[in-house]
Amino acid sequence: MKNFSIRKRCQDYEPFDLVKLKESLKKSGASYSMCNDIIDEISPKLKDGTTSNQVFKLARQSLAKKSKVLAANYHLVRAIYELGPTGYPFEVLCAQMLAKKGFKTEVGKIIKGKYVSHEVDVVAKRDDVSLLCECKFHNKNTGKSHVKVPLYIHSRFLDILEEHGKSSYNAYAIFSNTTFSKDAITYAEGVNIKLFSMNYPKKNTFVDHIIRYKIYPITCLKSLRKRDANYLLDKGIVVIKQLKENITMLAQRDLNNKEINAIQR
C-alpha cells in the first residue's frame, strides 16, 4: 500500500497506520483473513487527505457485508461518544453493565456525607458488595481522565464513609468513555478504586464488557436516525435490549413498519 496522510478530527494530519486499522478491526472480532479482505477492498479508495472518519466508514461498511455483529463491535467506541451530549445515557449504560454482573442498581442517587451531600451516578449492590460509581463522560476522545478525577472521587467516598461506615458502602468505581492517565491509574490502584475505561483494565476494558454482555447502545444501530436516537435517549432508552422491550415507542415517531422492522433486525 502506498504511503499517505489522513486528516484527523482536530484537522491535524498523520501518516496512515495500516497496523492501527488492522488492530481496530481485530478488536471487533474480525478474523485475520477478514481484516486483509477489508483492507484490500477499501485501499483503492484511500488517498492523501482522506479523513479518519472516511476511513472508519469505509471499513465499517465493508465489515457489515460480512457480519452486522462485528460491524456493531467496530462502531462501538464511536457509538458510546454519540450517547452525548449529556452524561445521563452513559450512566444508564454503566448501570446496565453492572446489572449483567448481578448487581441491583440505582442511577443518580443523593447520598448524605458527613459534611455535604453527594449525587452518586450509580449505586450498585450485590451480596456483601455496595459499590458507588462515578461515570465520567466526554463528548470527544481527546478528553482523558487525569489524576484529579480519582483524587476528587476518593475524597467524596471518604466523606460518605464517615457518615455511613463500611457496612453501608464498601467499594468505589470510576467509569470513563475515554482513557485514564498513568497517574490516575496509579493513584486509583493505590486507594483501591476500581477503574473501567477504554484502556483499563488492559485485557478487560469497558468495551470488552459491553461486547461480552451484549449491552450495545442504540447508537450502534445504523438504521436508527439520529433524531429518533436522541428522542429515545431522552426517554431513558439507552441499550438495544431496552429498545426491543419498548419498540412501540417508535410508533410515536414518523416511522413506517418497514423502517421499524429494519431497526428490530
**pLDDT tens digits for 86-120?**
999 999 999 999 999 999 999 999 999 999 999 99
Yes or no: domain 88-212 corresponds to CATH 3.40.50.300: no
Alpha helices (runs of H) in the chain, residue ranges in sequence order: 18-27, 32-42, 52-66, 68-81, 88-100, 148-164, 182-190, 206-213, 226-234, 240-245, 257-264
Residues 6 or more apart in contact with residue 214 via CB below 8 angstroms: 241
pLDDT (tens digit, 9 = 90+) per residue, 177-220? 988 999 999 999 999 999 999 879 988 899 899 999 999 999 98
Q: What is the pLDDT of residue 255?
A: 73
pTM of full prediction above 0.85 = no
- 174 in Cβ contact with 147 (< 8 Å): no
Q: What is the pLDDT of residue 10?
A: 58
Higher pLDDT, 60 or 260: 60
> Nearest-CA neighbor of 9 among 55, 48, 46?
55
Classified as helix, coil or strand, 217 is strand
- 144 in Cβ contact with 181 (< 8 Å): yes
Region 236-265: mean pLDDT is 81
Among 50-64, 201-215, 250-264, the least confident range: 250-264
Nine-digit cell at 245? 422491550
Whole-angstrom distance, CA of residue 203 vs CA of residue 182: 16
* Predicted confidence (pLDDT) at residue 259 exceeds the cutoff of 80: no
Q: What is the pLDDT of residue 9?
A: 62
Q: What is the pLDDT of residue 36?
A: 92
Region 152-172: mean pLDDT is 94
CA distances from 85 to 16, 138, 194 (A): 29, 8, 25
- 93 in Cβ contact with 238 (< 8 Å): yes
Q: What is the pLDDT of residue 11?
A: 61
Q: What is the pLDDT of residue 52?
A: 83
Rg (CA), the chain: 20
Higher pLDDT, 2 or 249: 249
Q: How far does CA 72 lie from the centroid of its chain?
A: 12
